[in-house]
Structure 1
Amino acid sequence: MTTATKKHAHLLGFIQHGVNSHATGMWRHARDKVEWNFARPEYWQHMARTMERGLFDAMFIADELAPYNTHEDSSDAIVKWAVQCPTHEPSTIVPIITGATKHLGVGVTLSTAFEHPYSMCRRLSSLDHLSSGRVAWNIVSSYSKSEWDAYGQKMTDRSGRYERLEEYMELCYKLWDSWEPGAIIADKASGIYADPEKVKVVSHEGKYYKCNGRHFCAPSPQGRPVLWQAGSSGQGRDFAAKHAEAIFAVHPTVERMKGYASDLNERLSGTYNRAPGSVKLIYGLQTVVAETRSEAQEKYERIRACIPPEGALAWMSGHFGLDFSKFEPDAIVQNIEVPGIQGLFDSIIYAKGGAPVTVKEAAMIYAQGMGMPVAIGTAADIADQIEHYMDEGGADGFMLAATYTPGCFEEFVDLVVPELQRRGRLRTRYQGTTLRENLLEH
């Protein structure tokens, strides 16, 4: 394989709009947010500029609508140990991020559970306009009991959730596509701004949603946001294969990655008549880089030392909808069934290559980065691992999970990015003007 034919990696910075992201306890790390405040624009502007300097596709903002309350029937441990808490609303920082950059996109996680498609489309179209076409929507439907409790609603049955989600997307497409080409006339002499004949009234009456109105936003630069999904169950993979332009998945081994890529491409071509490889597969990866392997290993141990065991257990309980405090620490997770996100639970089950994993071990593995593989070493070591996951695992790119910020991204950009570029594995400039153009670039 020549440098010219090598697949370029798509890079995304995986964070939350909060004091702590996906490595529990990082707020107490000596190098976390030194002289930065996550609640201020300057922090996000710096993070954005750092990622753009590294030619990342986007900053990807995960979200949870309320503190998890599964552990001991309470959110006390979540609050006590700052387990993704406090967390601010994700879409509020999109204009700050895109206003500080020219090319970097933003993937924003927004739940369909408590918001009507009409307002969702309006918000996303507005953000796409403000960003000049650099917004993606990570489509989620709220899996956590705490979210439904916070909104005062009874949690919907999991079996019908995708049927509801399908109708949600059907209505979103109708709204985004309702302005025809040439609808805007903007004739100052006559005073006519738009032709109502070319702006459809969307009349929808379905099983779950009703709408009778025009989309309140003119077509945005991308028409609709880039659609992102993290489908892991059978239904989730089908939904992702049908709708998504990029899919985020967590797999701890290259064998699991390869199997997932094969399965998704089969669904794409066999069920939905989409070309294999037409949807980008982005795998979770955590990196710890240094000038030497020994220094990197020391960094890794300092990160692990920040994880609070009870906070780790509380996060795992919240994510999987099962109170793990009721199990013995040495209980084997492979013998436990969870009602929550099975695909992510598999990342724990296979964390040791299929060998038994105890509840205590699982909590610490998950709290470090959702069971993602961890690349530890020099820039060359990490580039080797990235190439392996791309060539053998089918990865098109990586969701780089934050540890201490902004330092972990600064170090990746300063050390790993030049090595990837030297190997012909990362772009040297942005080719497109929108997120879709850059993300779908080979």
Structure 2
Amino acid sequence: MAGRRMAFSAILLNSIAPIPDGMWRHPRAANGYDFATPEYWEDIARTLERGGFDAVFLADLLHPHEVYAGSHEPTLRFGAQCPIHDPLMLVPIIARATRHLGIGVTVSTSAEYPYQLARRLSTLDHLTGGRVGWNVITSFNEGSFRALGIDQPPRDERYARADEFLDLCYQLWDSWQPDAIVEDRESGVYANPAKVSRVEHEGRYFRCDALFPVKPSPQRRPVIFQAGSSPEGREFAARHGEIIFAIQQWTPEMRAFDDDLRGRIAAAGRDPQAVKLIYQLQVVTGETEEAARAKLAELQSLVRVEGALTLLSGIVGYDFSRHAPGDPLTDVSATGVRAGLESILAASSRRDGGFTIADAARLYGLSSGSPLVVGSPSQVADQLEEFADEGGADGFNLLATDMPGSYRDFVDLVVPELRRRGRVRAHYAGSTLRENLAQEVAAFAG
């Protein structure tokens, strides 16, 4: 049997803890580091590169959650993704600590202008040797728009603006021809003006008349990450995404999502096989299944129902404080990330008996609705192979529990087993993030 190499990324926030609730209280959390220091990120980056990861995925939230109980107080009290710092500043720190690890950073098209962001991302691509990715979001958090002093547009308008934003960025990045820089010391000519085009753009949302000031970076364009789950988001991802992130509970759901997205990608005139579909999941592993189950029990004990509901309310855009914890979970009107609620509803449908708001909180508070894979290294590897071979997953976006211990567990325990099966690279073949993602996948005998 032949199998493809799996791509791996690690999803992180520049915050007090990873995305799950309460993990900052874990006995081995931070391991003596403070997330606001370079040493914290250097340590994590080196661990991920040691494990052959393709990239670190730096998620972001422009403004703290304040949907639950209509207040920011629960967010501060529980440390619910707050404090949260700017992820863009981490790129040079991670790059200096590694040689190959890609760095995908989240930046909202609702909070930036194309010219400025294109310039920053090109500069970072130079400084990292071509390892930058851009996770394109349009922002869903109402507080973010209030903080920026602008009205929150409807979802379809946010995506229309994002389309134009990217189109303008593409024009800027492509405005220098590959041979524009001459560097002829004898003649004194540095660049051939005929090989550099001025960008003149007049659109619905943006106007730009500019000479792009950054020479072509190693990748020219950053690798485009996308994680849209709504119909508008999926269409946007099909038009632009090179790596598309998703949360689907198990193999049949992954296969259905794979078929849907690759069909949309083909309809957009792109090669469906040139795009990687990466599914978020959480792994709790130990030397044995019993050890992994013991770790899981400890992690679950750290999740607080109200803290988790603060997160869930903020992500989904629905105030769950309207309900008692013992009330049954039902579908609600979600103004935020619809996938957050759908993942919980999908998980609840697999359980016998009632599923309450408190049950949803405990589930979301640990795994954010992602599939939770628990077991020994071989058991974890078996499940990942099923997701890849039967679900169509090109790889996985690993959601941490405690930091940095959970990534060390995965790299030290699971990665050797995956390498034994030929599923994880032993070394990096390319010099840029895009080259490593396109690396030919090894076949293995099994």
TM bucket, shorter chain: over 0.9
Counterpart for residue 112 of structure 1: 109
CA drift of 1:413 comes to 0.7
1:93 maps to what in 2?
Answer: 90
What pairs with 1:254-269 in structure 2 (closer than 5 Å)? Answer: 254-269=251-266
Question: Alpha-carbon deviations, 1:166-217, whole Å to 9, x = none?
Answer: 1111101100100112211222333322122222111111111111101121
Specify the code of the residue in structure 2 equivalent to 1:402: A
- Conserved in 1, the CA contact under 8 Å of 2:329 and 2:355? yes
Q: Report the Cα offset of residue 418 of structure 1.
A: 0.6
| Contact preservation (8 Å) 2:66, 2:314 | yes
Give the whole-Å Cα distance in 2 for the aligned partners of 1:344 and 1:278: 27
| 1:162/1:235 contact within 8 Å kept | yes
- Stretches of 4+ moved more than 6 A in 1? none
- The match for 2:216 is 219
Using the TM superposition, name which of 271-280 and 73-82 deviates more: 271-280
- Indicate conservation of the 8 Å contact 1:68/1:145, yes or no: no
Partner-residue secondary structure (3-state), 2:277: strand
1:403 is aligned, of 378, 401, 406, to 401
Shift of 1:437: 1.0
Looking at structure 2, the residues matched to 52 and 436 of structure 1 have their Cα atoms a distance apart, in angstroms, of 16
* Displacement of 1:327: 2.1
2:222 is equivalent to residue 192 of structure 1: no
The answer on 1:295 being equivalent to 2:291 is yes
Q: Does 1:352 align with 2:341?
A: no
The residue type paired with residue 358 of structure 2 is: K
TM-superposed CA distance for 1:335, in Å, is 3.2
Alpha-carbon distance in structure 2 between the residues aligned to 1:352 and 1:365:
9
1:278 to 270, 274, 278: 274
Per the alignment, residue 389 of structure 1 pairs with: 387
In the other structure, the counterpart of 1:334 is 330
Consecutive unaligned residues of structure 2, counting only runs of 5 or more, are: 442-446
Residue in 2 aligned with 1:238?
235
Q: Is the 8 A contact 2:35 2:41 kept in 1?
A: yes
| Residues 241 and 264, structure 1, Cα contact 8 Å, conserved in 2 | yes
Q: TM-score scaled by structure 2?
A: 0.96
Task: Measure how far apart 1:274 and its partner are.
Answer: 2.3
Identify which of 318, 324, 329 aligns with 1:322.
318
Q: Any idea what SS the aligned residue of 1:297 has?
A: helix
Q: Deviations over 1:76-100 (max 9, x none)?
A: 1111111111111001011111111
CA–CA distance in structure 2, aligned partners of residues 354 and 116 of structure 1 = 44
SS at match of 1:215: coil
Q: Is the 8 A contact 2:18 2:402 kept in 1?
A: no
> Identity of aligned pairs, percent?
45
Could you tell me which amino acid in structure 1 is paired with residue 132 of structure 2?
Answer: V
**What are the Cα deviations for residues 273-294 of structure 1, in whole angstroms up to 9, with x where unaligned?**
3233221010011011101111
Which residue identity does 2:431 align to in structure 1?
A: T
How far did residue 30 of structure 1 move? Answer: 0.5
Distance 1:159 1:186 in 2: 46
Counterpart in the other structure of 2:48: 51
- Superposition deviation, residue 254 in structure 1: 1.6
SS at match of 1:334: coil
Shift of the alpha carbon at 1:354? 5.1
Amino acid at match of 1:342: R
Is this contact kept in 1: 2:18–2:403, CA < 8 A?
Answer: no
Of 36, 39, 50 in structure 1, the residue corresponding to residue 36 of structure 2 is: 39
Using the alignment, how far apart are the partners of 1:426 and 1:205 within structure 2?
46
1:343 aligns with 2:347: no
Shift in Å at residue 163 of structure 1? Answer: 1.1
2:363 alignment counterpart: 365
Which residue in 1 is equivalent to 2:412? 414
- Assess if the C-alpha contact under 8 Å between 1:232 and 1:344 holds in 2: no
> What is the rounded CA distance, in whole Å, between the counterparts of 2:55 and 2:243 in structure 1?
12
2:197 is the alignment partner of 1:178: no
Gaps of 5+ in 1: none
Contact 1:69–1:75, Cα closer than 8 Å, also in 2:
yes
> What RMSD over aligned residues (CA atoms) do the two structures have, in Å?
1.3
